[in-house]
Every structure is written in C-alpha cells, then in structure tokens.
Amino acid sequence: MAKVKYKSVSKNLEKITKPSDNTDSRSSIGQSITITEYYELDISRLIPFKNQAREAFSDQEIQSLSQSIIRHGIRQPLTVIKSEVQGKYEVVSGERRLRASVLAGLKKVPCIIIEDSSMSEEIAVVENIMRTDLHPLELSKAFCSLLENNKNLKQKEVASRIGVSESFFSEILKYNTLPSDVKRILLEKNIKERDFFRKLLRTNNPMSLLNETFFSPSKKNQSSNVNVLRVFIKDGEIKVQSGGLINLTHEQKNLIKIELSNLLY
Amino acid sequence: MKIKGYKNFGVTQKIMSELAGVNPSTISKIVSAGDYFPIDTNVHRNIRYSITDTRRIIKKVSKDFSGKKSNMCFYNFKGGVGKTSLCFQVSSHLALMGYSVLAIDGDPQGHLTTSFGFDTDGKFLTLYDVIARNVPIDEAIVNIYEGLDCLPSNIALTRLEPALNELPKREERISIALSSIQNNYDFIIFDTNPTISHINRNIISFTDLINVVVETQAYSLNGLKILVSDLEKFFKSMVMKKPELLIIPNKYEERTAASGEAMGVLREYYSEFLMPDFAIRKSEEFNTSAKNAEPLAFFCRSNSIAFEDLNEVIKYILDKVSHKNSSRPRREEEKISGES
C-alpha cells in the first residue's frame, strides 16, 4: 500500500491514548468475582518488609490502634508484595496495622497485593511520608536506600518520583551522616525538630550539643530571664506591671528593694 | 435454511496470482497446462475460474503452503471498527487459497453470518446449542463453499452468556467444545462482538492469535489502551501464556491529519504488535462486499486497494503463524496469586 504517514501526537491525544504502566491492582474486567481488588490474607503469612523504613514502633500507639481495629476493623488494606520466602508476603505498608491486628487477635487482614516488586520500596516511602509521623531519621534511611537502589537516577529524579522537593530530599538525606549514637538517642527520645537537626549538622560535636540542649539539668535556670517588674510612663502617668513579683521568695524581694532604692536615690 | 450458493462465483487469474504471491504468467502456465475451465464461457475478459479450481491452482503454486495452522479471532470491545468485515474477508480468502477454514460467528448480532449469505430469518444452530445444549458441533457447522465452513450465529447466542456462568471451567468451554474438530481445519477464525463477556473470554483463551482491529481515530485508540491492559491482566490471572497480538489499523485516510496522528500513537506505543508502516485504507469496497455477501476476490478489479490491503494482511498473518505448532493447552505451571 501507499506509505503510511505519521504525524506527531498532540498532548490531547496522548492524554487519552498513552498506556499506563500496569501497576494498579484492578482486576481484569468481568473477573471481579474471582479476582478481587484486595485479599484477606492469613496473618501467619505476613512478614515485615525487608526494607522497612520505620524503626520505632511505640507500644502505646499500637495498643490504641488495636483498640480502634477491634471497634471498627481495618479501614484500609495493607499493601503487600510476594516474598522470596515461599508462601509469605512482605508488608510494604501497614506494619503498625499488622502489629495492632495481631494484638487485636485478628486471624486475617485485608491486603492489596502489588505485582511489581520493584515499585514496593517507593510505595513504602510514599505511603509513609504522606503521613507525617515517620521520624526524620527513618525517612533519611529510606531515602538513602531508595537512592542506593536507583543508582541510575539522579537525586532530583528520585525526589520527584516520590513527590518531594529536591531541597527537602537532600536535607533529609544529610541526617543519615550523623553519628550513630546521636541517631539512636534522637530516635529514642523522639526528637524531630528540624531547627535542631540543622544545628546538629553544623556543629563539630553533635553529641555534646545534644546533651547540652536536652539533658543538662541546669539548662533551664541558666538561660531563662524572668520578668518581675515593669514600669511605664505614659502622658505623665505611671503604670506598673508587677505580676512577676508573686513567685519571688522573700529574699529576692528584698534584693529588688535594695536595687531599686540604689537606682532612684 | 436457505443460504446463498457460490456456484457461479469465481476468481480471475490476476487475483489468483496476487493471492498466491506469484507472477500472473505462472498462473497462466498452470491453467493452460491443466484441465481448468472458466465458469462462464461467454465472456472474453476477466475470465473466472471456479472456487475448486482456484483452490487447486493456488495450492499448486504457492510456496510453503502446508504446516500453517492457527486459531485466531478478530477482537476489540470498541464497535464498528471493522472486525466482522475483516474476519469475513480473511476467512473467505484463506479458503480460496486452498486452506481449510472454519469461521465461527461469536456475535449475537450475526453479521458475519449475514456476510456469508445466510438468510437472517433462517433457523440454524449456533454456538449456544453446541456449548449449552450439547448438540454435536458437526450438526451446527454449515458448509459455505469448498474449504470454508461456518458456525453461524443469531440473537439466540445471547443466551450463552448466562449459561456459561453455570458451567465449570467457564473460560474454557469453547476450547472443550472444539477439541473434537480441531484437526479438521487449518484455520479456526472467530468473529467477536464488542464486549468483554465470558463468550469472548472463551474465544481469546482458545486462540493463539488475537487480531485487534482498530480505527485510526481517538476513541478507538483509547479503547485499545484499555483493551491491551485488560488482556494483560486476564492472561496473567488465568495463568496462561498470552497469545500473539496483531493490531490492524483500519479505515486509514491518507489525507486526514487525524489518521496520521493515530498512526503516530500506534507507532509510539504499540509498534511491537503492528505490521510495519501498514494500515488498511478506507474503502467502499469492503461495504459492498459485505452487503452483497461476496468476498472481494469474486468481484473486485485487479487494482482494488481494498483487495491489495487485505492481501497484505493475509500474507502477514500467514507468515506469523507459519510453522508454529500451536501448543495448546497454554496453561503454565500453577502459580497461586493469593487467597480468595
């Protein structure tokens, strides 16, 4: 036949014709009776994800989650992938739900099975950072291993794939360079202020800064200036705020008296 | 039941040479050497030879004739793309080329059946009777002309869908029903109706080549995206090897930008399933052919573009299935994908 002519594809046409990568778990049309969007998997078949980002599991939180599971059931299925271990599934996201379910005495939990295991780590990170309760250090570790597993990608590309800005990504990534004993304490004490992390990165001795800031007993008295008395003059009228005086001891009041009389005469 | 007879239909030497892929002079030599006689002795131009003769002549001249065997279907859940037209042409021409062909109408609308000249009000057995009522398949099959059999369809076929739901192995009922006649044919060709139904699931589970006919326009390409992804999932869940997929762009209009753009999309995303730089051009002859229940070769001119494109499709399909022993069943090792 006559040669076929090709034209470049417009944005609009591309939008409706470009095949999507088959990562969604919707079953083939008409098969929804036999193949469901999620499966009730036996708890004994579920094991933690080998690249689990979350390290700290608070017993108290799990306890309360388990209470809510007893009352309401699991509202959102866990995401799992087939494990290399025969017959087992790794929990990509939802390990807290799993632990809580065990505590709640459930035998089976709803799970979405992801076919493409190469996506699993990305999904695990994305699911967790969309909730804000992942510790910055856990996040940092997860970012590191993501970068490690995608050596062909630039930092910028990895960041955009999980939907965070490059600057955020690189900052979080730096936390991983902190000494391991510092990291351990930060995780244990659940210290996650971003300002403080920045200070830690700048200083030469992060351990001492950590100790000074959080664990030095005299810290509070040293640094705080307490206002005890304020005197204002407005239009020849004197105004006094003396609320701070109430908490003072007798000796302190005497000291102030002396100080004031020295100033005024 | 009354069906159109093809007694007085025949094929010219030129068309024969096209179908056989040889020089017209080769055909001419064979004809003059053998005992072949024109069907109408009164005409002097465009002399036609009977279906039987055509089959014998083409069989004689075409290279690597034997060893070709395939179960295929024309499939798409977008309607009006030309599945039936192409199914009709491909099956009738393969029969003219000397192959033994069974065309099965899997569409309750019965348009393939009509194309083969069946009287639409006629009473005949369909796939429904074969699968749901255990009627022996040979009783339902109707001979159209030499080399070409048809299992027709009418609106009664709609009853098959609920019936399939009741049966065990409901995705494999057609494979089971056809196993007894599988070896009687070189090609078993299904026409499908544009849905995702259990009938169609049966058909695609049975075939080793799925011909997806697409129109070169936006909706059709959007449908293709859904179709390809759905096929992927279906065969994965059935734990079956995916059949070969051939995407055939149809109703291509060289002058329109939309057609060119659509070809761009196809090349970009589906090049592995395409015939290189090929599309079937839009042609009135396909409509005429279906309306009169006459395959193109019986009436087209030697310069017909419809015939030229069709012939190219047939050659490509023959090439694709050549010497490939269709190894059924395609079930792979059982893998459990999860508990229910």
Contacts of B228 in chain A (CB under 8 A): 19
pLDDT tens-digit readout, A175-217? 888 888 888 888 888 888 888 888 888 888 888 888 877 776 6
Any alpha helices (H) in chain A, and if so which ranges?
11-17, 59-72, 95-104, 120-130, 136-149, 155-161, 166-175, 180-188, 194-202, 206-210, 219-223, 250-264
Proportion of chain A above pLDDT 90, given as a percent = 0
Q: Assess contact for B230 and A29: CB atoms under 8 A.
A: yes
Mutate to test the interface with B, among A18, A25, A29, A79 (most CBs of B within 10 A): A29
Any alpha helices (H) in chain B, and if so which ranges?
13-20, 24-33, 51-61, 83-96, 111-115, 127-132, 137-140, 160-166, 173-178, 198-206, 218-237, 257-270, 284-291, 296-299, 305-321
Instruction: Tell me if chain A has a CB within 8 Å of the CB of B229.
Output: yes
Where are chain B's structural domains?
A: 64-323
Most confident of A115-129, B222-236, B303-317: B303-317
* pLDDT score of B326: 45
**CA A14, CA A237: separation in Å to the nearest integer?**
77
Q: What is the DSSP string of B40-74?
A: -TT--SS-EEEHHHHHHHHHHHSTT-TTB-EEEEE
Residue with tokens 């196809």: B266
Can you read off the two tokens belonging to residue A128?
A: 């967790």
* pLDDT score of B87: 97
Q: Chain A residue closest to B229 (CA)? A: A22
pLDDT tens-digit readout, B103-118? 999 999 999 999 998 8
Q: Which of B201, B230, B278 sits opposite A4 (nearest CB)?
A: B278
Q: What is the mean pLDDT of residues A152-173?
A: 84
Q: What is the mean pLDDT of residues A13-37?
A: 67
| Residue A224, pLDDT above cutoff 70 | no
Most confident of A41-45, A120-124, B127-131: B127-131
Task: Identify the CA nearest to B106 among candidates B91, B95, B119, B122.
Answer: B91
What is the 3 state secondary structure string of A173-230?
HHHCCCCHHHHHHHHHCCCCCHHHHHHHHHCCCHHHHHHHHHHCCCHHHHHCCCCCCE
Can you read off the two tokens belonging to residue B286?
A: 């396909």
Name the pLDDT band for B331 (thresholds 50, 70, 90). Answer: very low
Q: Which of B237, B305, B308 sits opposite A35 (nearest CB)?
A: B237
Return the minimum-mean-pLDDT range out of A113-122, B102-111, B126-135.
A113-122
Q: Assess contact for B115 and B68: CB atoms under 8 A.
A: no
Here the ipTM equals 0.73
Can you read off the two tokens belonging to residue B122?
A: 């006629």
Secondary structure (3-state) at A48: strand
Secondary structure (3-state) at A89: strand
**CA A202, CA A101: separation in Å to the nearest integer?**
42
| Residue B338, pLDDT above cutoff 50 | no
Instruction: Tell me if chain A has a CB within 8 Å of the CB of B265.
Output: yes
From residue A23, how far is each of A114, A143, B80, B232 by CA, in Å? 7, 22, 30, 12
Instruction: Tell me if chain B has a CB within 8 Å of the CB of A72.
Output: no
pLDDT tens-digit readout, B246-267? 999 999 998 899 999 999 999 9
Q: Assess contact for B30 and B60: CB atoms under 8 A.
A: yes
Q: What is the mean pLDDT of residues B26-46?
A: 85
Sequence-separated (6 or more) residues with CB below 8 Å from residue B93: B19, B295, B296, B297, B310, B311, B314
Sequence-separated (6 or more) residues with CB below 8 Å from residue B182: B71, B188
Q: What is the mean pLDDT of residues A13-27?
A: 72
Name the pLDDT band for A26 (thresholds 50, 70, 90). Answer: low
| Residue A131, pLDDT above cutoff 70 | no
Can you read off the two tokens belonging to residue B20?
A: 């056989």
pLDDT tens-digit readout, A71-116? 888 888 888 888 888 888 888 888 888 888 988 888 888 888 877 6
Q: What amino acid is encoded at A44 in this protein?
A: S
Sheet bearing A108-114, strands edge to edge: A39-42, A108-114, A78-82, A89-93, A46-48
| Residue B339, pLDDT above cutoff 50 | no
Q: What is the mean pLDDT of residues B205-221?
A: 93
| Residue A25, pLDDT above cutoff 70 | no
The CATH number of B64-323 is 3.40.50.300
Question: In this structure, are strands B48-50 and B10-12 parallel, antiparallel, or unpaired?
Answer: antiparallel
Return the minimum-mean-pLDDT range out of A257-261, B2-6, B220-224.
B2-6
* pLDDT score of B188: 96
* pLDDT score of B211: 96
Q: Assess contact for B81 and B132: CB atoms under 8 A.
A: no
Q: Å from A88 to nearest chain B CA?
A: 10
